[in-house]
Chain A
């Protein structure tokens, strides 16, 4: 069949397009199937694109990529019902020259088609509005895909599954089991339009500077999760992301949680007067390292969210890992082609590349965070509440002598904290986040 390709890729998100671009640049014949009307049409994420790998894929990407703002400020807020305490970090070093701090707010409906176009310009054939339903097998080896169109069977030496968190093809292939609920988070997000000047004034930004803000505690009903606001040029990405278990425990649906977040007195003022342009929901694979499935079999590689490559710890970093895994998969196939060996053995270099890079190193480093979070719910509800309560006592102005206030605070802390337990919990926190 003359229509045989070197590589068939399912999904034109960041991972699929990164692979397609790399393969096409090396002269391999590549076809990419995307079920959306165009790449990115239905994709969503929080809003910060981390770009070290993108720079490898497209040098000077900032000159042409549809980016919104470069992040110069990060803010972490702890919330109780009426109070907020926040830590904010801004650095002028992140504001010097592109690529700044390799982090940009972005909108997927613009970024994904741009990256896919790059792959197309390099020679990849991108076929939108086409769902891949199945893999083609021969003698236990993957030899192509079956797309939902007349004449939809396409052969390829290697198939890359870049079809995202729900990848049912990865399940069908046997590489991956169904994700269980507790390793998935659900997110709801709105894009809210505000005039540029209003955004800059409200968030203390100038020009194309941007802010990434994550909010914990009561804003998300004290669940293991967070609310977020990322500033775009003329919109805000406003959303919440929590583990599915949290939604079940609290008997709350994502949309209500988002409303709760938006209506907190500290958040309300930031989005006031904005017009909601879009609403979207999505899942995030947050199980970390131990959920990463087998990613290689004969003629088949898994990349991006399909392989569970998301570092959910502090960073909510997925796109960078997606593009990295796409790049590594492509490099591996380019090498395998030289030997014409696309078996699991011939492709095993992929795993090595992952292990030697930040992709698996970071996932490994943070392997305990997810467990920690689920076993230490107090960090999301009781501790923030207590801390904000104490801060309120401290800052409340009255005739009570300061010494008495301080004594009362100490009493309160004593009565509500079990020192030993707290120490143990803090130690676990340290271990989960800061040990290697």
Chain B
């Protein structure tokens, strides 16, 4: 059973995010970074399946700058067997499509039975890459799963996903792609021996060239999405208490909603 988990390094949840000076990106100075929490569910599920099946490898893959190696190391410490770090200066300014293209190229170098993604990355929140890769690789996928059972012969799986008012249960043939939701499992922590062994585990670094992708196929120039402007949420101003009895207050509220908030 070969399993790949695509992980993204994202600013820690408690970070104070500010747009960069040009308003096109976030200011990363002083931020601390973690493995995208939804990707941790993918890694945990991969490790569980490997343990259950009793054989196979778990590979973690990430696109990102030098610092990304820390996130990959964390995954190795938690239990992944090997890591692939894709970095290339030409990737700067890439949009979701380019990220999916590059991941696809890396994933196609091996035969994976299962590929996990997070349901979304908590920084850019596109919720798109996993599904996009499924399309490019022409693989079946189930998005936002909260339970997964793999058949004893490794050929099939049953995936559960929460839908409004119920659960959808999907039988799927492997190889397949899944994007993970938080109820899927409880990710484990790295053990001390795990952390110590992580350094010796294989870490492959790919450039675009290694993946046979032309540098001009990705990057800002090729982005299908243009990012206009990142802006911080408007500062919340203090609320206003409306005076008077219920009738007067409601009248005042309706007037404010109409004239100030302009919601109707």
Q: Which of the residues B12, B189, B199 comes within 8 Å of A125, measured between beta carbons?
A: B199
Q: How far apart sit A30 and B193, CA to CA, in the bound complex (Å)?
A: 15
Q: Tell whether, in the assembled complex, residue A150 and residue B32 are in contact, meaning their CB atoms are under 8 Å apart.
A: no
Q: Tell whether, in the assembled complex, residue A151 and residue B192 are in contact, meaning their CB atoms are under 8 Å apart.
A: yes
Chain B residues 152 to 210 lying within 8 A of chain A, measured CB to CB, are 189-196, 199
Given contacts A127-B192, A149-B189, 11 further A-B pairs with CB under 8 A are A37-B12, A41-B32, A125-B199, A147-B192, A149-B190, A150-B189, A150-B194, A151-B192, A151-B193, A151-B194, A152-B192
Q: Mark A103-127, 1 if CB is under 8 A from B, else 0.
A: 0000001000000000000000101
Is residue B233 contacting chain A, with contact meaning CB distance below 8 A?
no
Chain A residues 25 to 41 lying within 8 A of chain B, measured CB to CB, are 31, 37-38, 41
Q: How far apart sit A143 and B231, CA to CA, in the bound complex (Å)?
A: 54
Q: Tell whether, in the assembled complex, residue A149 and residue B32 are in contact, meaning their CB atoms are under 8 Å apart.
A: no
Q: How far apart sit A5 and B189, CA to CA, in the bound complex (Å)?
A: 23
Q: How far apart sit A28 and B238, CA to CA, in the bound complex (Å)?
A: 60
Q: Tell whether, in the assembled complex, residue B196 and residue A130 are in contact, meaning their CB atoms are under 8 Å apart.
A: no
Q: How far apart sit A277 and B29, CA to CA, in the bound complex (Å)?
A: 12
Is residue A292 contacting chain B, with contact meaning CB distance below 8 A?
no
Q: How far apart sit A150 and B30, CA to CA, in the bound complex (Å)?
A: 30
Q: Tell whether, in the assembled complex, residue A109 and residue B192 are in contact, meaning their CB atoms are under 8 Å apart.
A: no
Chain A residues 119 to 141 lying within 8 A of chain B, measured CB to CB, are 125, 127, 130
20 examples of A-B residue contacts, CB within 8 angstroms = A3-B196, A31-B196, A37-B12, A37-B32, A41-B32, A125-B196, A125-B199, A127-B196, A130-B192, A147-B192, A149-B189, A149-B190, A149-B191, A149-B192, A150-B189, A151-B193, A151-B194, A152-B191, A154-B192, A277-B30
Closest to B193 in A: A151
Interface size counted on chain A using CB atoms at 8 A: 16
Q: Tell whether, in the assembled complex, residue A127 and residue B195 are in contact, meaning their CB atoms are under 8 Å apart.
A: yes
Q: Which of the residues A109, A151, A277 comes within 8 Å of B191, measured between beta carbons?
A: A151
Q: Mark A151-183, 1 if CB is under 8 A from B, else 0.
A: 110100000000000000000000000000000
A37-B32, A38-B32, A41-B32 known; A3-B199 Cβ under 8 A: no
- Residues of chain A within 8 A (CB-CB) of B199 are 125
Q: Mark A223-262, 1 if CB is under 8 A from B, else 0.
A: 0000000000000000000000000000000000000000
The 3 closest A-B pairs by CB, nearest first: A150-B191, A151-B193, A149-B192
Q: How far apart sit A430 and B256, CA to CA, in the bound complex (Å)?
A: 71
Q: How far apart sit A60 and B195, CA to CA, in the bound complex (Å)?
A: 32
B183, chain A: closest CB distance, angstroms: 24
A123, chain B: closest CB distance, angstroms: 11
Closest to A277 in B: B30
Closest to B189 in A: A149
- Residues of chain A within 8 A (CB-CB) of B189 are 149-150
Q: Tell whether, in the assembled complex, residue A109 and residue B193 are in contact, meaning their CB atoms are under 8 Å apart.
A: no
Q: How far apart sit A277 and B189, CA to CA, in the bound complex (Å)?
A: 31
Q: Mark A1-19, 1 if CB is under 8 A from B, else 0.
A: 0010000000000000000
- Residues of chain B within 8 A (CB-CB) of A37 are 12, 32
Q: How far apart sit A154 and B30, CA to CA, in the bound complex (Å)?
A: 32
- Residues of chain A within 8 A (CB-CB) of B32 are 37-38, 41
Q: How far apart sit A127 and B196, CA to CA, in the bound complex (Å)?
A: 8
Chain A residues 16 to 59 lying within 8 A of chain B, measured CB to CB, are 31, 37-38, 41
Closest to B34 in A: A37
B197, chain A: closest CB distance, angstroms: 10
Q: Tell whether, in the assembled complex, residue A109 and residue B30 are in contact, meaning their CB atoms are under 8 Å apart.
A: yes
Q: How far apart sit A132 and B154, CA to CA, in the bound complex (Å)?
A: 41
Closest to A125 in B: B196
Q: How far apart sit A147 and B30, CA to CA, in the bound complex (Å)?
A: 28
Closest to B188 in A: A150
Q: How far apart sit A37 and B31, CA to CA, in the bound complex (Å)?
A: 12
Q: Mark A167-205, 1 if CB is under 8 A from B, else 0.
A: 000000000000000000000000000000000000000
- Residues of chain A within 8 A (CB-CB) of B12 are 37
Q: How far apart sit A3 and B194, CA to CA, in the bound complex (Å)?
A: 12
A418, chain B: closest CB distance, angstroms: 53
Q: How far apart sit A154 and B193, CA to CA, in the bound complex (Å)?
A: 9
Q: Tell whether, in the assembled complex, residue A150 and residue B196 are in contact, meaning their CB atoms are under 8 Å apart.
A: no
Q: How far apart sit A130 and B195, CA to CA, in the bound complex (Å)?
A: 10
Q: How far apart sit A436 and B235, CA to CA, in the bound complex (Å)?
A: 58
Q: How far apart sit A149 and B12, CA to CA, in the bound complex (Å)?
A: 21
B16, chain A: closest CB distance, angstroms: 9
Closest to A154 in B: B192
Q: Mark A268-281, 1 if CB is under 8 A from B, else 0.
A: 00000000010000
Closest to A107 in B: B30
